[in-house]
Amino acid sequence: MQKTLFSSAACRSVTRMVAVLLAVQALAAASLSQDTTTRDDVVWRDARELTVEGRGWPENKLKAPFDRLPAKAEGQVRAPVWGLSHDSAGLCVRFATDSPVVYCRWTVLKSNLALPHMPATGVSGVDLYVMTDGGWRWLAIGRPTQLSNTVALVAGLPAKRREYMLYLPLYNGVSNIELGVSKAASMSPLPRAEKGAKPIVFWGTSITQGGCASRPGMVHTAILGRRLNVPVINLGFSGNGQLEPEVAGLIAELDAAVYIIDCLPNCTAALVSERTGSAVAIVRKAHPDAPIVLVEDRTYADAFLIPGRQTRNDSSRAALRTEFEKLLAAGDKNLHYLPGTELLGTDGEDTVDGSHPTDLGFVRQADVMEKLLAKILTR
């Protein structure tokens, strides 16, 4: 008779270990996802009563409160762009409270909470930062498990007024979002001290929208907003950053500190040649003196070995450089150019699929962009 590989005692031991691990996981999930709707010591506040940042248009111009394009854009922009505009990428809620606990409950629009190459925390989660020692620091993540979620973001804080910023989902939208604090605590909006501070406006692709950050605060647009202490408007549309004049016209309605056009990952060389000049002209007509930055596409992580990928990079970059030189020759005096060769590293360790950055890739991209943007913003 063939001997069994494990004794019954060993099997029982393994079973006990699995049970313990499952129990620990359940307790951890409960601590972060407990439903507090019946608790008397929590007061809920609609996020719209606080400071919602990252919207280019006022709420009364939107079809839904957490959209990224105005209601009039429906039927004006292509259907995929309009659909993606309901994703809340770049939006954040700023508030201050002295509560020892902070809860969040939110309802997302799409039942697909995750993507095959991007976790649910980034696609549909919320991401809490706190101001400490003069800078923003990560504090907690709200992990989504269903369409409507109630999460204890953080508890046990020493009683003290603190400033917070909560980033909304990158690849999902929200129909409503509320924040809960202790009944005895205060809670208030957190507008910027610099009243009317102009935002940086990003127009781009899936990468700009945040694919594939592990959480909403890790996309490079959010990182730059924290580092440079400026509002950010994220108009990244996955697979659909195509330099359309309709989108350029909407962007021209925004009064920005800097306009960043980062559409090459979705544009062939022919499309770059056809549309770059007109897109810049539309924005420039409304903002004659504003800085505009043209960004090359990142280098595919596998381009070192796959000629077609390198050719794709080279051709679109050559087309963009040509359009940039034309615009300079025509007299544009505040146009800037950011090469793509350094947006990601050369070690191949910072993308999910050779194209979309991991958190490491987004930090590297922010590092490169920050050098240029810091110079522009201090002029």
The domains found in the chain, sorted by start residue, are: 42-189 (2.60.120.260), 200-377 (3.40.50.1110)
Pairing state of beta strands 232-236 and 126-132?
unpaired
What is the pLDDT, as a whole number, of residue 288? 98
Which residue positions in the chain have pLDDT lower than 70? Answer: 1-39
| Cβ contact 341:299 at 8 Å | yes
What is the pLDDT, as a whole number, of residue 379? 81
What is the pLDDT, as a whole number, of residue 17? 42
| Cβ contact 349:356 at 8 Å | no
Question: From CA 371, how far away is CA 379, in angstroms rounded?
Answer: 13
The tens digit of pLDDT for each residue in 265-321 reads 999 999 999 999 999 999 999 999 999 999 999 999 999 999 999 999 999 999 999
Closest CA to 136 of 227, 242, 36: 227
- Total residues found in the chain within this entry: 379
CA angle 49, 157, 36 (to 5 degrees): 55
User: What phi, psi does 44 have (nearest 5°)?
Assistant: -100, 145
| Cβ contact 235:247 at 8 Å | yes
Question: From CA 185, how far away is CA 191, in angstroms rounded?
Answer: 19
| Cβ contact 362:218 at 8 Å | yes
Tokens representing residue 86 in the block:
């309901």
Tokens 């400026």 found at: 230
| Cβ contact 132:119 at 8 Å | no
| Cβ contact 177:66 at 8 Å | yes
Pairing state of beta strands 92-97 and 135-142?
unpaired
What is the pLDDT, as a whole number, of residue 36? 41
Question: From CA 338, how far away is CA 368, in angstroms rounded?
Answer: 9
The tens digit of pLDDT for each residue in 22-39 reads 333 443 444 444 444 346
Question: From CA 101, how far away is CA 121, in angstroms rounded?
Answer: 21
What is the pLDDT, as a whole number, of residue 295? 98
